Structure 1
Amino acid sequence: MTGLRRPPWWLAWLLGGTAAAAGYSLLPYAWPAVLISSLVTVGSCAVMVVGAHRRHRAQRGAWLIFVAGVGTWFAGDLVYATQQLSGRVVPFPSWADGFYLGAYPLLMIALFLLTRRRGPIWSGNLIDSAIVAISVGIAYWTFVIEPIVVDTGVSPLTRATTAGYPTMGVLLCALLVPMLLRRGPRTAGMWLLTVGGVVILAGNVVYTLLPDAMYAYGSYVYAGYLFAYVCWSAAAAHPAQATAIAEEEESLGWSRLLVLTASMLLVPAILLVQGERGGEQMSWLAVGIGSMALFVLVVTRMSGYIKRVHSQARRLHDLAMRDDLTGLPNRRAFEEEAIRGVAAGPCRLVMIDLAGFKHVNDRLGRAAGDQALAAVAGLLRGSLREGDAVARMGADEFAVLVLDTRAGEGETVVARLVDLLRRPVVSGEHELLLNARLGVADSEHCGAVPVPELVRRADTARYAAKAAGSQLMIYTAELDESADAAAQLGADLRHSLDDGDFRVVYQPIVELTTTRFEAVEALVRWHHPVRGFVSPVDFIPVAEDNGLIVELGEFVMRTSCHKFAGWRRDLGAAAPSYISVNVSARQLREPEFPDVVAAILAECGLEPAALLVEVTETALFGGGTAVHAVETLHRTGVRIALDDFGTGHSSLGLLRTVPVDVLKVDKSFVDEITEGGGRAVIVDALIHVSKGLGLRAVAEGVETAEQAAYLRELGYEYAQGYFFGKPVPEPDFTPRALVVDQA
């Protein structure tokens, strides 16, 4: 039958040997039974030798000791069989007892070498074994061994031999208990070794403590010994190492703790039992010495455990106070260091933010971002003096504590940091410009404030630097006032969004040759019930910063698309061709933004080409999610415009890598075209770039007929500005004549 596979040879030996041991237990003690036991024993030794040679060469010495132990036991079996089956009276003690007692140490040494955990010999495992051995030993001594030893009616050799069996049982018990209580997974070899040891211990207990059961069921006990040999040899033949899987040296599980507790309580229990009997034959010396030894072992065990707990506590404290990625102290550790630094004298606290870090993660992946952070950490660590401190406070935020040990030193270190972070950082194969923003708070100028407040003030200065587009900002009280004003403005924004205080107005985009209204741009206006009119220049940056721009931008897009759909329905061919809506960088970073736009278009019944989305160069320059959103929109048919072109990064490569349909020339360039002196050269260049790339160019901010005429002469076809119409809620699309002649 080809479907059946032969079992591995170690399993075949285990099954066959177990069957032979079971058969032995059913036979009367005679030469056939001796033959079976001899074959099983010799076979076990042979399997151990072969297994150690083939699979466990690193443990060969321990297995050879095992073979010697089993062979010594086998020699005792042969001596006993010869004496018993020859009809002679078997003396006690005999040479067989010598072989049996000589085999125990060899077997226990082999078991210890094969099953002990790697590490110092004098470990928690060995101490636990000693505790169990002494406790069980005191019980054995009191109830079994001492009555034998003090019996002067027999010879010393007989007493020594009789006491040797329970003594070996005590030692074997001490070896097996930690094996049984070991935590974690066990290999098959470990299980086989443990089972064999437990069977031998059970046979020893029956032989020592239950002589009547031994007389009645001795064949089963001897069969158990054969089964133990088979288990041990199968462990040698098994491909898995019999060595214990690594475990924490001082581990104390509940089962082990229970056994140790029971061992400690065994001594007082013995005293109670002996006290009830009168205590006349009590060996106080043995109990006293054993109790003192137990006390020393338990103290040693607990001291090792306490040492391990302290070591783990130190490691946990270090992990809790250190950043894994950079190896720098974290926020908690830095604040503790800053408390000591501020108390020692004047110092400067610098908060650093890497404004370009998100773009690195988006474009190059998180691994490159991690390398960049580690590189910045190394630069900061290497730039500081002894006594200064640096820490990673968050994702891309760092903090530096600079001690002003002498006048002017703090300023020098801060200046060095500014210069250092202005340079590109090497991350793998890339050189990255991370645009660091630094905020500085001076402890001397800030007065006696807590360190968390000092950190907050440095953070306030950093936010101000970011808002102002500068690299460094020193904290002043005015910054708090500005931050409070921005926070209040943000709260008012939230309320006005809920109350409907925002309005959408529309500014026409005209065709210069015919002055026909080609399109409209949707713009948002805010009339606060208390503040009155609030300029977009004031509230848009705040909305960008607190995230409300996402909700506000969706409101503008939905409102304007509904309005445009109404114009189409009411005006027909006289309606504008499309509507243009500004979209912020924050909106583009929202993963669901393309879906939001698609849902609004479907809700209004507009085709994608009816919408033009205006984005800034800065929003796209970093790549990543923003560019992906623009590409997704463009694939659906939505048109894309680069707004305020020329005022941001102005990368012409952006026009090749990002799908763009319309280029909007910023008002600052249009203002200068009629002033002469070559000021129109940029506007002239941009129209050629647009036509060369097949883009539509729209000039913004046209306020005079002279500007409109000049733009038309340069080749511009579309423009917008106050000259053609101010942003109003209801534009008048009635055709009217506008003078667009060259001045």
Structure 2
Amino acid sequence: MHAAFAGLSAAAVTAYALAGPDLRIVVFTAATTVPIITFLLALGAGHLTDRLPWLAATAGLGFLSLGQVLWPDWIPGHHLGRAEGSTTDLVMASAHLLFLIGTASALRRHGRKDPGGLIDAALFGLCAAGPLWEWLIGPNLGPDATPFGEALVLADVLVLSAVLGCVIRIGVTARRARGPLAYLLLAGLLTLACDVVSVLTVHGTSVWTAQMMMLAYLTLAAGPVLPSAPLVTRPESGRSTAEHPPLGWLGAALCANPVIAAVQAVQGNRPASVVLPISTMIVIPVVLLRLRLLSAQRDRAERTLAHQAHHDELTGLYNRRHIVTRIDEAVHALEQRELAEVTLLLCDLNGFKPVNDRLGHQAGDLVLQAVARRLTATVREDDLVGRLGGDEFVVLLRGAHPAGGDGVAARIAEALREPIEVAGTTVRIGASIGTARAWPGAGLGRDELIGRADAAMYVAKAAQPTADDRARPVPVAGPV
């Protein structure tokens, strides 16, 4: 494929250079039809499974072909770069807008969890368009340029820069699609270079502009036929965002226009341009939005870390460190007579080890998660449930409970006796529960409270039948 592209490009460039004026139009028109053919063939063969982005690009190629039909001498006759505001100028700008829609659609598929990627692509366009316009395009526009034509050229530069930004951003995450992305990126760079070269050579030959544009068409044609082309619109598993937020874009976006203005002030040979204030007005809200997204990402990360620091990863209950801290707080509140009573329940599962031994640790994890849900459902909203580790759980009742500690323990034991279905099998477990109660003036600290609950739990466990095998799994359809 690469050899075919190189050979076809060399043949097209050479043929255009050697041909006469009339034949050059034929050579150029033939080059513009190649990407339409490859795009339609790739879509028709089902090679490009995600059709919408590629169809948008194909529609853009159709617009370019329409412009070539309406004005076949537009590029060979060196009308590109004059900013005349013709119909063909409008058609070309519209075609590139369709390319932007296609690439932005592909980027959105990769960046569903990374909206900052879309903003970074927009910032690329805004940062790149300003210097190109102020230093290369604007000062060299000829007398044929009209306000509408200048606006179309500026819009085209902005759109092409945004297309390049989208392609680059896709390449950050879609590493396996970098082959076709390289061709698409080269096509965009060549098209953007044509805009600049056509203005710089507006009073000279159009051969360079036409040859670069043909190369852009042929480069674009190679992208969809590569084997990895479908990956351009298919996010890779586990890669939805770039590893590091590209803060450099924000600095470039904020500095680009002031640097241009400083250079113009030093040169002092050009009147002030309205492009700088307009683009700055666009850049500022985009940068603020990017900062807002970064701040939101940081807040989410902090909330995640805080949750992980206080909660058990498997069950979602409070972990040992947090529950011990809350016991200390409850005991202190008891001493200050802010609470009338504190009750601590330690729960050790009976029959859990056979579940792990016979069904595996994954089934054991499902049992622990079911236990966590049942424990949470048996207590009040102000009470706390935690996992100490393994199959040991703790319940902290803050304040007097209508059913009392023994009543809550009975409800927990009843809830845990209900069968649990895991991996197509029903198992039964139980729990040994030890209860300890403290009240104002009792003088019980955290360690004493836990010690009493632990001792009561072992007494309850000793009274249980020794047949832990009652947790033996039975088929769902059988008796339980």
Shorter-chain-normalised TM-score: which range? 0.7 to 0.9
* Cα deviation 1:589-615 (Å, max 9, x = unaligned): xxxxxxxxxxxxxxxxxxxxxxxxxxx
* 1:133 alignment partner in structure 2: 125
Gap change, CA 1:36 and 1:280, over 3 Å in 2:
closer
Structure 1 counterpart of 2:216, from 205, 212, 225: 225
* 2:300 alignment partner in structure 1: 311
1:304 CA drift (Å): 1.7
* Cα deviation 1:501-543 (Å, max 9, x = unaligned): xxxxxxxxxxxxxxxxxxxxxxxxxxxxxxxxxxxxxxxxxxx
1:407 CA drift (Å): 7.1
In the superposition, the TM-score normalised over structure 2's length comes to 0.76
Measured in 1, the distance between the counterparts of 2:5 and 2:173 equals 29
Residue 18 of structure 1 contacts residue 230 of structure 1 at CA under 8 Å; is this kept in 2? no
Structure 1 position 296 matched with structure 2 position 291? no
Measured in 1, the distance between the counterparts of 2:275 and 2:448 equals 69
* 1:687 alignment partner in structure 2: none
* Cα deviation 1:454-508 (Å, max 9, x = unaligned): 6642564257537x8246xxxxxxxxxxxxxxxxxxxxxxxxxxxxxxxxxxxxx
Gap change, CA 1:463 and 1:208, over 3 Å in 2:
farther
Measured in 1, the distance between the counterparts of 2:277 and 2:458 equals 77
Measured in 2, the distance between the counterparts of 1:209 and 1:449 equals 88
Q: Percent identity?
A: 22
Structure 1 counterpart of 2:382, from 374, 379, 387: 387
Pairwise mapping of residues 169-180 of structure 1 onto structure 2 (< 5 A)? 169-180=157-168
In the superposition, the TM-score normalised over structure 1's length comes to 0.52
Residue 132 of structure 1 contacts residue 260 of structure 1 at CA under 8 Å; is this kept in 2? no
> Which residue identity is paired with 1:358?
K
Measured in 2, the distance between the counterparts of 1:450 and 1:208 equals 84
> Which residue identity is paired with 1:179?
V
Gap change, CA 1:258 and 1:380, over 3 Å in 2:
closer
Structure 1 counterpart of 2:400, from 400, 405, 421: 405
Measured in 2, the distance between the counterparts of 1:401 and 1:221 equals 75
CA RMSD of aligned residues (A): 4.2
> Which residue identity is paired with 1:79?
D
* 1:268 alignment partner in structure 2: 258
1:200 CA drift (Å): 1.7
Gap change, CA 1:66 and 1:210, over 3 Å in 2:
same
Residue 403 of structure 1 contacts residue 410 of structure 1 at CA under 8 Å; is this kept in 2? no
Pairwise mapping of residues 597-676 of structure 1 onto structure 2 (< 5 A)? none
Residue 330 of structure 1 contacts residue 393 of structure 1 at CA under 8 Å; is this kept in 2? yes
Gap change, CA 1:459 and 1:444, over 3 Å in 2:
same
1:399 CA drift (Å): 0.5
Measured in 2, the distance between the counterparts of 1:274 and 1:336 equals 64
1:102 CA drift (Å): 1.9
* Cα deviation 1:247-305 (Å, max 9, x = unaligned): 98885746x4334422322222223212222376233x543443343222211210122
Gap change, CA 1:257 and 1:384, over 3 Å in 2:
closer
> Which residue identity is paired with 2:302?
A
Structure 1 position 243 matched with structure 2 position 233? yes
* 1:591 alignment partner in structure 2: none
1:103 CA drift (Å): 1.8
Measured in 1, the distance between the counterparts of 2:80 and 2:342 equals 93
Measured in 2, the distance between the counterparts of 1:201 and 1:278 equals 28
Structure 1 counterpart of 2:428, from 422, 432, 445: 432
Measured in 2, the distance between the counterparts of 1:144 and 1:318 equals 54
Gap change, CA 1:199 and 1:279, over 3 Å in 2:
closer
Residue 351 of structure 1 contacts residue 438 of structure 1 at CA under 8 Å; is this kept in 2? yes
Gap change, CA 1:76 and 1:195, over 3 Å in 2:
farther
Measured in 2, the distance between the counterparts of 1:239 and 1:130 equals 24
> Which residue identity is paired with 2:260?
I
SS of structure 1 residue aligned to 2:439? helix
SS of structure 2 residue aligned to 1:230? helix
> Which residue identity is paired with 2:221?
V
* Cα deviation 1:139-192 (Å, max 9, x = unaligned): 34433555467x8xx3563x6446644542233113312421442124254444
Q: Which has the higher contact order (CA 8 A, sep 6+)?
A: 2
Pairwise mapping of residues 344-743 of structure 1 onto structure 2 (< 5 A)? 344-345=338-339, 346-405=341-400, 409-418=404-413, 423=417, 425-428=419-422, 429-434=425-430, 436-444=431-439, 447=442, 451=446, 453=447, 456-458=450-452, 460-461=454-455, 464-465=458-459, 469-470=462-463
SS of structure 2 residue aligned to 1:469? helix
> Which residue identity is paired with 1:432?
R
Measured in 1, the distance between the counterparts of 2:306 and 2:222 equals 47
* Cα deviation 1:605-660 (Å, max 9, x = unaligned): xxxxxxxxxxxxx7xx779xxxxxxxxxxxxxxxxxxxxxxxxx9xxxxxxxxxxx
1:396 CA drift (Å): 0.6
Measured in 1, the distance between the counterparts of 2:395 and 2:445 equals 16
Gaps of 5+ in 1: 1-10, 472-617, 624-648, 650-743
Gap change, CA 1:244 and 1:191, over 3 Å in 2:
farther
**Structure (1 or 2) with the greater helix fraction:** 2
> Which residue identity is paired with 2:123?
I
* Cα deviation 1:675-725 (Å, max 9, x = unaligned): xxxxxxxxxxxxxxxxxxxxxxxxxxxxxxxxxxxxxxxxxxxxxxxxxxx
SS of structure 2 residue aligned to 1:349? strand
Gaps of 5+ in 2: 471-480
> Which residue identity is paired with 1:71?
S
Residue 166 of structure 1 contacts residue 208 of structure 1 at CA under 8 Å; is this kept in 2? no
* 1:596 alignment partner in structure 2: none
Measured in 2, the distance between the counterparts of 1:338 and 1:391 equals 11
* 2:10 alignment partner in structure 1: 22
